Amino acid sequence: MNGLLDLSAAFKLRGDSLVLDYKVSNRASRDVYLLNRLYRTTPQWDMSPDFVYIHLDPTTETVWLNKKMADLPSGVMVNAPVSPFVTPVRAGALFHEQVQIRLPIREYRQYNLGPKHKGPPEARIFKQVYFTLGYYWRPAGTLEETRNIHGTPVILPRTPPGKPLEFGQARTDVVRLDIPVLVE
């Protein structure tokens, strides 16, 4: 990362799941907001640590897991981009989260542009995985409001007007692991 924010992660297969255990250590003198609280609105609203965007790259047989602002699709009009809720990690603090993804892994993106794979779904074994986590640093003067959204408490940072946000992404190394996937 940038030396002040450290991301470490472990990937393992356990039962019928791929398990991602990750930790973020904030060694800075200011708070950081992790963009890790993803949610779904259909078939009903739900938020879980197990929600993660999943990109499958059949060419390199790589699974890319990410919790961040979703990439906006090119050529598609998006009225209001979906933004995850945040987890504050205070200056000097450590955050840990475990994510369990049911096997076989299927691609999951916020903005689905339809199938890219021609033909019927194909069961394969991909050979590697990595994780990306989005974040931004808390600007001075930011206030936090706790709200209850569909029964889930969330923190809404209120940044002073005119204060730019310093966004970043942390990424793990690519890890060698045989992972069952379904390319659709």
DSSP 50-117: T--EEEEETTTTEEEEEESSPPPPTT---SS----EEEEE-TT-EEEEEEEEESSEE-B-SS-----S
1 pLDDT higher than 60:
no
**How does pLDDT run across 26-82, given as a tens digit for each residue?**
999 999 999 999 998 878 888 999 999 999 999 999 999 999 998 777 777 777 777
SS3 69: coil
pTM: 0.92
Two structure tokens written together for 42: 């259909």
Query: Are residues 13 and 179 in contact, defined by beta-carbon separation less than 8 angstroms?
Result: yes
Provide the residue ranges of all domains of the chain, joining segments of one domain with +.
Answer: 5-183
Backbone angles phi, psi at 95, to 5 degrees: -125, 140
